[in-house]
Amino acid sequence: MGEEISLRHLPMFGHQVFIVLRPERYGCPRCEDRPTTTQTLDWYTPRSRLTKAFEQEVLLTLINSTVEDVSRKQALGTDGAHSQFSVSCRGGYEGCICHSFQ
């Protein structure tokens, strides 16, 4: 079994929701260097602390709002919303406001 991870998901009835899981770890007993891999699921990005649904919710909430307002509303902290927006944008558009965060 892998390490336990906690993922922030969409709020329910005004309360924060976290999904806690322990992804399976697999190793090849036949390979010489015994490589391992960890189970991944399509509803979260590995090494992210948020589910994809919550990431999309944050991005939609940013429309016509400031990062500080969204951070306060979603209880993310300013750094959390900045990093979320930067990861989603990936700097692909020069006019994007996330360039001002870097």
Q: How far apart are CA 43 and CA 92, in angstroms?
A: 23
Answer yes or no: are the C-beta atoms of 5 and 22 closer than 8 Å. Answer: yes
pLDDT of residue 100: 44
**Tokens in use for 28?**
């090849």
Tens-digit pLDDT string for the chain (102 aa): 668 999 999 999 989 999 999 999 888 888 888 888 888 899 998 888 899 999 899 888 888 888 888 888 888 876 655 555 555 554 444 444 444 443
Pinpoint the alpha helices (H) of 8-51: none
Residue corresponding to tokens 């709002």: 65
Q: How far apart are CA 56 and CA 30, in angstroms?
A: 41
Backbone φ, ψ for residue 6 (5° rounding): -120, 125
